[in-house]
């Protein structure tokens, strides 16, 4: 550098030295002129794949009363007001049956064959009473005619009426006993017919069994269009169960389906063996999905008086000891949102923080979207 300055002072090689100084002076400025590195591009927004769009479900966040739910155990039974019990009024031996438990039968359909000497006696008695009734009616007609002519007294007329009524009542009783029977092919055998249409919900006879008159129903017929669910109410659940309150019912036979009903009656005395009160729920059963003997979960809800934001429990995602939901705005605008839970009630969750009323959350196939959003944010 000193030699350059000396050259300038002496004028030797002045032009060359001046060019050198200019290059050195401009070097820092050129360093600042280097092209800047481009900023990394923002990641593209996540869009729900088209194949997944039709499989998701969204629910709107709503402000709703906070409820507490309790699940009771229940069992389906046929409605005793809608059944027909067949009790034989005669003794005998069942020689053959043509039905099984659960079969649908029509009124008048032959169900069994009975061999009974008593029935043979009833047939004879029926014929005798028919003859006696015919005689009693003729006697009554004669007594009425003589009473009008003044020949017979009022006492004679009343006695004739009474005799006719007695014989007619006896005949009706015997005819009623025989109304569900018809003669079989063999002597002293009779066919038992269904007293009404419906399903066989109870059967107590088989071929060869001896039956006794009036000794319990041989079978029970119910149409099952209307059933009862009897729920067990323990002492700790009494605050949640009231008459005429709606309930939601579930069965393991129909995992994704619920039924609704109403508590029609609540017993006031605890069952001595089970130590529970019995709540009766009467339900229509149009699809015959509810079968007698089927166990049910009976869910009752009690309002607490508070209000909070409500979302389906299925919308929650538990990850790393925190609860999240996927907020949906559009197919290409979804967001993971951490939430705080205030309370849970059956299928609903009440949120105290993290959401606003009117927002939508994804409640089906949302885990796939959650994982995709998480991987993009890493």
Q: What's the pLDDT tens digit per position in 51-96?
A: 898 899 999 999 998 888 888 999 999 888 888 888 887 788 999 9
pLDDT at 9 over 50: no
> Residue 197 domain-assigned?
yes
pLDDT at 37: 52
pLDDT at 21 over 70: no
pLDDT at 31 over 50: no
The total of structural domains in the chain comes to 3
Confidence tier at 38 by pLDDT (50, 70, 90): low
We report the CATH number of the domain holding residue 190 as: 2.40.50.100
| Average pLDDT of span 35-59 | 75
We report the CATH number of the domain holding residue 342 as: 2.40.420.20
| Average pLDDT of span 331-345 | 90
pLDDT at 44: 64
pLDDT in tens, 109-125: 989 988 888 777 777 88
pLDDT at 299 over 60: yes
Sign of CA dihedral 18, 24, 27, 29: negative
Same domain, 289 and 343: no
> Residue 2 domain-assigned?
no
pLDDT at 233 over 50: yes
Same domain, 239 and 291: yes
> Residue 170 domain-assigned?
yes
Same domain, 101 and 212: yes
Last residue of a domain, one of 185, 200, 216: 216
Same domain, 198 and 230: no
Same domain, 263 and 338: no
| Domain encompassing residue 288 | 70-80+223-304
Same domain, 131 and 105: yes
Same domain, 211 and 108: yes
Residue with tokens 């809800």: 301
> Residue 183 domain-assigned?
yes
> Residue 151 domain-assigned?
yes
pLDDT in tens, 238-281: 888 889 988 999 998 888 788 999 999 999 888 888 889 999 99
């Amino acid at each position: 550098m000193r030699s350059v300055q000396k050259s300038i002072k002496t004028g030797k090689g002045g032009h060359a030295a001046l060019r050198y100084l200019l290059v050195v002076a401009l070097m820092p400025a050129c360093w600042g002129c280097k092209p800047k590195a481009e900023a990394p591009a923002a990641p593209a927004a996540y869009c729900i794949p088209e194949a997944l769009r039709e499989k998701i479900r969204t629910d709107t966040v709503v402000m709703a009363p906070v409820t507490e739910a309790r699940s009771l155990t229940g069992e389906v039974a046929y409605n005793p007001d809608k059944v027909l019990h067949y009790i034989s009024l005669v003794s005998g031996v069942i020689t053959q049956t043509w039905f099984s438990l659960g079969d649908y039968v029509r009124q008048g359909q032959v169900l069994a064959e009975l061999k009974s000497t008593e029935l043979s006696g009833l047939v004879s008695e029926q014929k005798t009473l028919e003859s006696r009734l015919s005689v009693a009616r003729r006697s009554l007609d004669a007594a009425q005619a003589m009473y009008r002519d003044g020949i017979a007294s009022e006492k004679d007329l009343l006695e004739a009426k009474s005799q006719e009524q007695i014989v007619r009542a006896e005949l009706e009783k015997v005819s009623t006993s025989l109304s569900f029977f018809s003669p079989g092919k063999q002597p002293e055998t009779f066919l038992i017919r269904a007293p009404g249409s419906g399903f066989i919900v109870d059967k107590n006879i088989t071929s060869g069994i001896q039956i006794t008159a009036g000794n319990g129903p041989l079978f029970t017929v119910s149409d099952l269009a209307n059933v009862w669910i009897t729920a067990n109410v323990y002492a700790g659940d009494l605050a949640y169960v009231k008459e005429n309150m709606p309930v939601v019912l579930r069965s393991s036979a129909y995992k994704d389906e619920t039924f609704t009903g109403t508590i029609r009656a609540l017993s006031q005395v605890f069952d001595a063996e089970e130590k529970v009160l019995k709540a009766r729920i009467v339900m229509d059963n149009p699809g015959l999905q509810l079968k007698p003997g089927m166990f049910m979960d009976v869910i009752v809800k009690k309002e607490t008086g508070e209000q909070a934001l409500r979302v389906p429990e299925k919308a929650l995602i538990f990850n790393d000891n925190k609860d999240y939901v996927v907020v949906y705005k559009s197919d290409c605008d979804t967001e993971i949102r951490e939430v705080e839970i205030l309370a849970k009630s059956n299928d609903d969750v009440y949120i105290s923080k993290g959401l606003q009323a009117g927002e939508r959350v994804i409640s089906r196939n949302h885990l796939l979207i959650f994982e995709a959003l998480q991987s993009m944010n890493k």
